[in-house]
Structure 1
Amino acid sequence: MARSPLVSATLQSAILSATSNVLAQAITAYRSEKPFTVDWVPVFQFFLFTVVSTPPNFLWQEFLESTFPAQKTTPTPEAINSASANNEKELDREASEGRLVESKLNIRNTVIKFLLDQTIGAAINTLMFSMFMHSIQAAMSHRTTGADASVSFLASGKALDYSQVNWRVVLERSRLDFMPIMSAGWRLWPFVSLFNFVVVKSVEVRNLVGSLAGVAWGDLYESGGGEVAWLSLGGGQEFKAQWRFIR
Structure 2
Amino acid sequence: MKLPPIINSCLLALAIDCCSNLIAQRLKAYKLGIPFAFDGVLFTQFMIMGGIGGPINFHWQLWLERTFPGWKLSTRRGDVKTLDTVELGLVSGSDVKEPEPVRVRNWWNIFRKWFTDCITLGALLNTTLFLVVMGVLKGKTWSHIGTDLRTEMWPIIWDSYKVWPIANFFSTTYFPAERRIVFLSCCGLIWNIYLSLVAARL
Partners of 1:228 and 1:45 in 2: CA distance: 10
Counterpart position of 1:238: 201
Structure-2 change in CA distance of 1:206 and 1:82 (3 Å): farther
Spell out structure 1 runs of 4+ moving beyond 6 A: none
**1:148-173 deviation line (CA, Å, top 9, x unaligned):** xxxxxxxxxxxxxxxxx321121122
Give SS of 2:188's match: helix
- Contact kept, 8 Å, 1:134 with 1:170, in 2: the verdict is yes
> Offset of 1:31 from its aligned partner?
4.1
1:84-233 matches, cutoff 5 A: 85=84, 88-89=94-95, 91=97, 100-118=100-118, 119-137=120-138, 139=139, 165-200=140-175, 202-217=176-191, 230=198
> Offset of 1:189 from its aligned partner?
0.9
**1:171-209 deviation line (CA, Å, top 9, x unaligned):** 122122111111011111111111111222x12321111
Structure-2 change in CA distance of 1:40 and 1:169 (3 Å): same
> Offset of 1:83 from its aligned partner?
4.8
Identity across the alignment (%): 25
Structure-2 change in CA distance of 1:50 and 1:84 (3 Å): farther
TM score, norm. by length of structure 2: 0.83
- Contact kept, 8 Å, 1:20 with 1:215, in 2: the verdict is yes
TM score, norm. by length of structure 1: 0.69
Structure 2 residue runs of 5 or longer lacking an equivalent are: 87-92
- Contact kept, 8 Å, 2:61 with 2:178, in 1: the verdict is no
Larger RCO (alpha carbons 8 Å, 6+ apart): 2
- Contact kept, 8 Å, 1:10 with 1:51, in 2: the verdict is yes
Give SS of 2:103's match: strand
**1:66-114 deviation line (CA, Å, top 9, x unaligned):** 22111112223x437445556642527xx9xxxx333221011111111
Structure 1 residue runs of 5 or longer lacking an equivalent are: 140-164, 232-236, 240-247
Give SS of 1:53's match: helix
Partners of 2:24 and 2:82 in 1: CA distance: 60
- Contact kept, 8 Å, 2:20 with 2:189, in 1: the verdict is yes
